[in-house]
Each structure stands twice: as C-alpha cells, then as structure tokens.
Amino acid sequence: MALRDERVTLAHGGGGKAMRDLIEEVFTSVFAPPGMEDQARLQAEALAEPGARLAFTTDSYVVTPIEFPGGDIGKIAVCGTVNDLAVGGAKPLWLSAAFIIEEGTEIALLRRIVATMAREAEAAGVKIVTGDTKVVGRGACDGVFVTTAGVGVIPGRVEMAAGRVAPGDVAIVNGVLGDHGATILAARGDLALSSAIESDCAALGHLMADVLAVAPGAKAARDLTRGGLASALNEIAEAAGCGIEIAEDALPLRTEVVGMCEILGLDPLYLANEGRLVVFVPEVEAEAALAAMRARPEGTGAVIVGRAVEGHKQVRMTTAFGGQRIVDMLVGEQLPRIC
Amino acid sequence: MKFASEFRDPKAAKVLLAEIAKVADRIGATKDKPVHIMEVCGGHTHSIFRYGLDKLVHEGIEFIHGPGCPVCVLPRARVDECIEIAEREGVIFTTFGDAMRVPGMKKSLLQAKADGADIRMVYSPLDALELARRNPEREVVFFGLGFETTTPSTALAIQQAAREGLGNFSVFCNHITVPEPIKALLDDPHMCLDGFIGPGHVSMVIGIHPYDFIAQDYGKPIAVAGFEPLDLLQSVLMVLRQIAEGRAEVENQYARVVPEHGNPVSLAAIDDVYETRPSFEWRGLGEIDKSGLRIRAQYEAYDAEEKFGIGYATGRREVEEAEGCACGQVMTGRMKPVDCPQFGRGCTPEMPLGALMVSSEGACAAYWQYGGARAVEPAE
C-alpha cells in the first residue's frame, strides 16, 4: 500500500505521486474502468436497433451528513443518475464519477463511499467507466461533492415524455414517500429527533424496465427527488396541459414521517425521495404495472395515487376530509414553522 | 398517527358539519348574511385551508382570518433591524426558519445570509444558547419572535444564560401578546365579527381567562380551539350555539391541552424576564398599546436592543408599508385576500409584498397555496 495518509491533503490534488496513489488505490482499483486511456471508449449493441437513442444526463450531489441511515453520498450519486436515465425509459449503461474533496477528508470515508458506489453500480447493471478527482482547500467545499453523468440507451419503441400524459392515465408511485427527506432531517442532529426511518435511496432501472415490459403504453415517469411528489406532478400537469387529481388517503406515508412533518410544519408531499418515482400509464395497463413494481423489492409499497383529468390544469388533492385543495409547486425551500 | 388521526376522522366531521348547518339555519345565517367568525391564530388559518373546511361548512359561515401569525405581523422595520444586527462584525444571528423569507425594506434574512451575514436557522432558543457556549469569541443573537407560545422558551434561555454568566448571548425580542390586538379589532368601528376561535397553544400557556373581556365587555362568544379539523369544527359549533342561545362565554374546546389557568411555570418565567412595552408596531395594524414584551432591566445584558442600540432603544423611525398593500384591511376582516388588487399580481409567495403572503400561516399565502382563489387566474 503506497497510500499511508489517513486524511486527504492538498498534495493529493497536486498532480504528482500522491495524487496517483490516491486515484489508483481508492478509486480505479475499485471501479476498474476499461482501458488505460483518459476517456472511456464504449460500444452498445442496443444502439444498433432501429429508432434507439442515446440518453445522457448529469447531476451533482451534495448532502449533509455524507453518511446517513440507509446510504451515503455515493449511493445517491449512483442511484440518482441511474434514476434520471430510467425515468426517461433508458436502459442505464455507463456512469462517470467526479469527486471534489475537501482537504482533511478521511481517506477511510472516501473508501467507504467508493465501495458503496461500486456495489450500487453493479446492482443497477451500470459500469463506472471514467472519473476525476480534485482536492480543494479547507472550507472550499463541505467534505465531498460528487458529480456523476450517465449514459443509457432508449429502445426504439419507448417514448416517455410528460407531454404525452392524457386525461384518464393513472399515476403510480413505487412506495412510501418522504423517507429520504425525513432521514436527512433527523440525521443532521440539530432537531434532537430520533427515528428508525432509513433513506429510500435505491436505483430504479430494473423496476422501470419491468414496468415498461408489461405496460408498453406508459406515458411518462419522474423521480421524486427535490420538491417531492408535489413538484413532479406539477411539472407533468404543466407539460401535459391537463389536471392531475390525487387522493390524500391513497398517499403512501409512514406514520413516523407524517409525525415528523407535523412537528416541523412540513408537508410530506414536498419531501425529497431518492428511490421513488411516479409513472403515468393508461388505465388498462395500471394493474399490470402495479404488479410488476410490487414484484421488486424497491416497489413493494407501490400504489395508485391518482390520475390525470380533464376540466382544469392544476394538481388537486381530495383531502381525507372530503375537501379539495390545490397542491402547488414548492416556493423556495420548505422552512420549519415557529409554532 | 395516534392522538392526531382521531381528530381527522371524516365520519365524525360529517356529524359536526350537519349539526353546524342545523344551528346556522336556526340563526338565519346565509351566504349573503353570513356569521363572521374570526380564527385568530395563523395555525388555525392554515388548518382551515389545508383541510378545505371553509368549503365544507355551511355557506352562512364566513371565516375571517385574524392577525395571529407572528411572522406576518412583524413590521418591516424590525426585519431591517435584524439584518442590521446580523451584519455586524462577529455576530452569529439565529432565527426560526420561517422568518428567513420575510422581506424587510431592502432584503430578507435569506438574502442577507447570501450577502455574507452569518445567519443560522435554529429550532429552539436553546440551540442558540449552545452556539454561544461553543463560540465564546462571537456574539450570538437569537431572534425572539412569536406569541405567548414561544415566549416561555426564550425566557428560559435568557434565565439559563444568566445562570451561566454567558456574556455573548442576547435576544432580539419581538414577542407579542394575543389579547391586545383582539381588543384593538373589537374597538375598530368597522368591525363586523360575531365570534372568535381562540388560539389553543397560546392558551396552553396563558389559560382561557385573559379572553374574559371578549365575552364580558364586548358580548362576543369565543371557543379556545385545537388545531385538528375536528377541533376547529367543534369550536365553530360551540360559537354558533352560543350565538343561537344568546350567550357570550369563553369556552374551552381544547381541554385536552389547555388548562383553565394556563401553565404556571411558563407564566412565572415570562413574568421574571419580560415586561410589557408601552406599545409595539404590528404590520398592517400599526402601533397597539401594551401588545409587545421587552426584556426587564434586570436582564438588560441579554437584550440585543440595548446591546446594539437598536429598535425601540433608540426611538423609532417610521416605515411605510408597501404601496397598495391591503394587509391591514384583510386582517381586520374588511377585505378578502382575493379582493386585494395586489393578490397574485404584485404579491405572490415568491415575491411577497404584504405580510400575509409571507408565511404559510398568513391568510393570503394560505389562500394562494391551497387554491381558495385560483379559480381567478393571476393576471400577467
């Protein structure tokens, strides 16, 4: 082992031997990218199919704390980008991973993050084929920031787009909402709230593929990250030019999450998820899509939450109480209430 | 969720709604001649819209949304003063989350934070106290804001700081009280209120008797209420029954939380640390006599107004409300949020002009968020 330091120093970003040691021991030995060149050279048979298209996406990940119940920043960085590809109907194939590392970060932490990423990538059926590291001075970033880009292939027959959603289509969610957001809130420790909730962080490529296999008419899907279900539905309603109605008593919510939201004055509809999506399918395919989701561990809690409707262009929720209210886009960020 | 879901039972709600309709009919309440009931507290306003209660109750009942959202009634001058303190060298300014977005004359705390001030969101004044212990070289200021519900926790933080001799902790006190603005509203010649729903969590601290004047001096019924939908419906029914029976009393719907005489430990802490200000400015309502609290001379060392020579400690500058803002009229029940010319045009939750659009507990923000008004599409 050439790398004897316990913490990252600016030397690890200096371009010399220390940097090479860090990259080889911590990153490339685990990710095992193909070839020795500075760029990944890739071939996909799936692309040869008529009508097949490349899907390409990127996302940066910052989370405090870096490790939390149910995952760490590496898991989110892999799953988040895989999910961005999956909800577009693409089969995720390759990822890049770039790390901005604050001086003083424990190398053991980096190893844990990298191990998580390798494990999640393998489970999701994607390869991490290229990457980069930069070391910045103390205070210039918060621990570790990760950026992943992903490439996948959309089969010729698949055409997922929010604008295709039409009145009558059914909205299905793959499990309980808000676990990730609630976990991060609790894990920050400044609330003195303890809970057994874990992040829902999960890669949804396989689940999406299974849904598309039985529901080829699926119209659109969105992962429910920042802004939660409420924001995703508003985006879809706007693109589709129709209304969406959901029922409060159909929403899958964990008691602990609802309780935490009650205390803080937050709305679980806006909490972030990292392993949840909403998919719109024609009514005739809804049962099959639901069954396909429930057959997978990341979809056991799948339920129909609502449907697209004519007559208005808003997202509306029938409350458990029988009243109806608009579910709007989030303004700014959710701020805890005074009392 | 036990202890909450019981109070959201739709079946029980139907029974209450039917009973409300019966009594409303009996007293002749109609859409054109409605009974006006003010829910004083912003938490109640939020619940009414969140559960769509305004649309579920008999059409002869109209909710008037009161001034009980501490974020909403905070004058812009006070926000400016917060920023002035926060931008001083060495200060860590701590605040509850929902005060971050309130606009001052030039900017909000959120914008001041982006401009470089060290402003931190905390969940309790005790978090601010802990920050002061850990940063002895910095001056930690807590933005004390809220009604009697939050006043005791600030008082306890000041008492604790005094016990520890913590020299770098102070509170910018904006605590206000509920009974005085209600009295101001009742004295308003344009007032058209028939009854009140009293803020339950305030009464948890002060009990129900501070409201006796509403019934005894002004002859209006009041029910101190909880925050779940069934609590609210039941309290509406209690107020209606009082009207139907010609009674004016202070009733306690929220007895599972509210003791008749309040919480003596909290009251003692408030009394030890604070005294009444001669008057305090309310956004949209103006100066109201004896409606605010200040830190007693004994605890002067923990009073940010004294420490930084700011606010009422310096004599006051007049600050104009934003032009065209009708918050005062909405808060006194003379105008509905949708009837304000700025609603949804110059004033939205993204760019609030008036106080009532700022916090989710403000009447206008609740109208906007939960669509009480969006049948009217906002003009371009």
**A251-271 tens-digit pLDDT:** 999 988 988 888 777 889 999
The CA distance from B68 to the nearest CA of chain A, in Å, is 11
Closest residue, chain A, to B46 (C-alpha): A265
Interchain CB contact of B150 with A (< 8 Å):
yes
Q: What percent of chain B has pLDDT over 70?
A: 94
Residues 260-299 of B with CB under 8 A from A: none
Interchain CB contact of A2 with B (< 8 Å):
no
Alpha-helical (H) ranges within B245-351 are 264-273, 304-308, 327-331
Whether residue B182 is contained in a domain is answered as: no
Tokens representing A89? 């109907």
Residues 102-131 of B with CB under 8 A from A: 110, 121-123, 127
- The answer to whether residues A113 and A169 belong to one domain is no
Whether residue B92 is contained in a domain is answered as: yes
Considering only the beta carbons, identify the residue of A316, A323, A336 that sits closest to B98.
A336
- The answer to whether residues B170 and B273 belong to one domain is yes
Considering only the beta carbons, identify the residue of A191, A320, A339 that sits closest to B10.
A320
Residue A155 has a pLDDT of 94
Q: Is the pLDDT of residue B253 over 90?
A: yes
Domain boundary among B203, B233, B252: B252
- The answer to whether residues B83 and B65 belong to one domain is no
Q: CA distances (Å), A276 to each of A171, A175, A207, A222, A286, in order?
A: 13, 7, 11, 9, 17
Considering only the beta carbons, identify the residue of A324, A328, A335 that sits closest to B97.
A335
- The answer to whether residues B82 and B148 belong to one domain is yes
- SS3 of chain A: the string is CCCCCCECCHHHHCCCHHHHHHHHHHHHHHHCCCCCCCCCCCCCHHHHCCCCEEEEEEEEECCCCCEECCEEHHHHHHHHHHHHHHCCCCEEEEEEEEEEEECCCEHHHHHHHHHHHHHHHHHHCCEEEEEEEEEECCCCCCCEEEEEEEEEEECCCCCCCHHHCCCCCEEEECCCCCHHHHHHHHHCCCCCCCCCCCCCCCCCHHHHHHHHHHCCCCCEEEECCCCHHHHHHHHHHHHHCCEEEEEHHHCCCCHHHHHHHHHHCCCHHHCCCCCCEEEEECHHHHHHHHHHHHCCHHHCCCEEEEEEECCCCCEEEECCCCCEEECCCCCCCCCCCCC
Check whether the bond before B10 is cis (ω within 30° of 0).
Answer: no
What is the pTM assigned to this prediction? 0.82
pLDDT under 50: residue ranges of chain A: none
Q: CA distances (Å), B300 to each of B92, B125, B131, B167, in order?
A: 19, 17, 20, 11
Residue pLDDT, tens place only, B164-189: 999 999 999 999 999 999 999 899 88
- Could you list the residue range(s) of the whole structural domain that residue A70 is in? 10-35+50-154
Residue B372 has a pLDDT of 52
Domain boundary among B252, B281, B301: B252
Domain boundary among A128, A154, A180: A154
Asked whether the beta carbons of A121 and A96 are under 8 A apart, the reply is no
- The answer to whether residues B91 and B156 belong to one domain is yes
- The answer to whether residues A149 and A166 belong to one domain is no
Q: Exposed, middle or buried: residue B87 (CB in 10 Å: 0-12, 13-18, 19+)?
A: middle
Which of B62, B1, B9 lies closest to B231 in space, CA to CA? B9
- The answer to whether residues A142 and A217 belong to one domain is no
> How many Å apart are CA A62 and CA A46, to the nearest integer?
33
Residue A339 has a pLDDT of 55
Residue pLDDT, tens place only, B312-322: 877 665 555 66
Whether residue A62 is contained in a domain is answered as: yes
Query: What's the structural domain count of chain A?
Result: 2
Whether residue B234 is contained in a domain is answered as: yes
- List chain A residues with CB under 8 Å of B233: none
The 3-state DSSP class for residue B327 equals helix
Whether residue B195 is contained in a domain is answered as: yes
Residue in B2, B40, B51 to test binding to A, most A beta-carbons within 10 Å: B51
Residue pLDDT, tens place only, B336-345: 888 888 888 8
Which of A40, A30, A31, A79 lies closest to A59 in space, CA to CA? A79
- The answer to whether residues A148 and A174 belong to one domain is no
- Could you list the residue range(s) of the whole structural domain that residue B284 is in? 76-177+262-314
Domain boundary among A96, A128, A154: A154
Domain boundary among A126, A154, A182: A154
- The answer to whether residues B173 and B278 belong to one domain is yes
CATH number at residue B294: 3.40.50.11740
Which of A21, A36, A205 lies closest to A110 in space, CA to CA? A21
Residue B40 host element (H or E) = strand B35-41
Considering only the beta carbons, identify the residue of A258, A262, A338 that sits closest to B70.
A338
The distance between the two most distant Cα atoms of chain A, rounded to a whole number of Å, is 67
- The answer to whether residues A189 and A270 belong to one domain is yes
Closest residue, chain A, to B55 (C-alpha): A323
Considering only the beta carbons, identify the residue of A262, A331, A336 that sits closest to B97.
A336
Residue B328 has a pLDDT of 77
Query: What's the structural domain count of chain B?
Result: 3
Tell which wins on pLDDT, A319 or B253: B253
Q: Is the pLDDT of residue B378 over 50?
A: no
- The answer to whether residues A174 and A130 belong to one domain is no
- The answer to whether residues A190 and A316 belong to one domain is yes
- The answer to whether residues B55 and B161 belong to one domain is no
Interchain CB contact of A69 with B (< 8 Å):
no
Interchain CB contact of A255 with B (< 8 Å):
yes
- SS3 of B75-125: the string is CHHHHHHHHHHHCCCCEEEEECHHHCCCCCCCCCHHHHHHCCCCEEECCCH
Residue B188 has a pLDDT of 84
B266-287 mean pLDDT: 92
- The answer to whether residues A209 and A95 belong to one domain is no
Residue in B123, B130, B368 to test binding to A, most A beta-carbons within 10 Å: B123
Whether residue A269 is contained in a domain is answered as: yes
- The answer to whether residues B170 and B191 belong to one domain is no
CA atoms within 13 A on the CB side of B262: 21
Considering only the beta carbons, identify the residue of B13, B150, B359 that sits closest to A321.
B13
Closest residue, chain B, to A258 (C-alpha): B1
Closest residue, chain B, to A328 (C-alpha): B369
> How many Å apart are CA B63 and CA B20, to the nearest integer?
14
- The answer to whether residues B29 and B145 belong to one domain is no
Please provide residue A280's backbone torsions phi and psi, each rounded to the nearest 5 degrees: -100, 125
Whether residue B233 is contained in a domain is answered as: yes
Residue in B6, B122, B369, B377 to test binding to A, most A beta-carbons within 10 Å: B369
Residue pLDDT, tens place only, B222-248: 999 999 999 999 999 999 999 999 999
- The answer to whether residues A317 and A259 belong to one domain is yes
- List chain B residues with CB under 8 Å of A191: 123
Residue pLDDT, tens place only, B109-118: 999 999 999 9
CATH number at residue A195: 3.90.650.10
- The answer to whether residues A256 and A173 belong to one domain is yes
Interchain CB contact of A316 with B (< 8 Å):
yes
Q: Do B8 and A323 touch (CB under 8 A)?
A: no
Whether residue B117 is contained in a domain is answered as: yes
CATH number at residue A113: 3.30.1330.10
Whether residue B377 is contained in a domain is answered as: no
Q: Do A320 and B8 touch (CB under 8 A)?
A: yes
Closest residue, chain B, to A253 (C-alpha): B1
Asked whether the beta carbons of A323 and B55 are under 8 A apart, the reply is yes
- List chain B residues with CB under 8 Å of A332: 101, 110, 350
Task: Give long-range contacts, CB 8 A cutoff, 24+ apart: A209-213.
Answer: A209/A86, A209/A91, A210/A292, A210/A293, A210/A295, A210/A296, A211/A279, A211/A281, A211/A289, A211/A292, A211/A293, A212/A89, A212/A158, A213/A292
- The answer to whether residues B95 and B238 belong to one domain is no
- The answer to whether residues B191 and B335 belong to one domain is no
The CA distance from B331 to the nearest CA of chain A, in Å, is 20
Whether residue A42 is contained in a domain is answered as: no
Whether residue A124 is contained in a domain is answered as: yes
CATH number at residue B225: 3.40.50.11750
- The answer to whether residues B12 and B57 belong to one domain is yes
- The answer to whether residues A168 and A245 belong to one domain is yes
CB-based contacts of B288: which residues, under 8 Å, 6+ apart? B180, B181, B184, B279, B280, B281, B282
- List chain B residues with CB under 8 Å of A258: 1
- The answer to whether residues A115 and A235 belong to one domain is no
Whether residue B320 is contained in a domain is answered as: no
- List chain B residues with CB under 8 Å of A323: 51-53, 55-56
- The answer to whether residues B84 and B210 belong to one domain is no
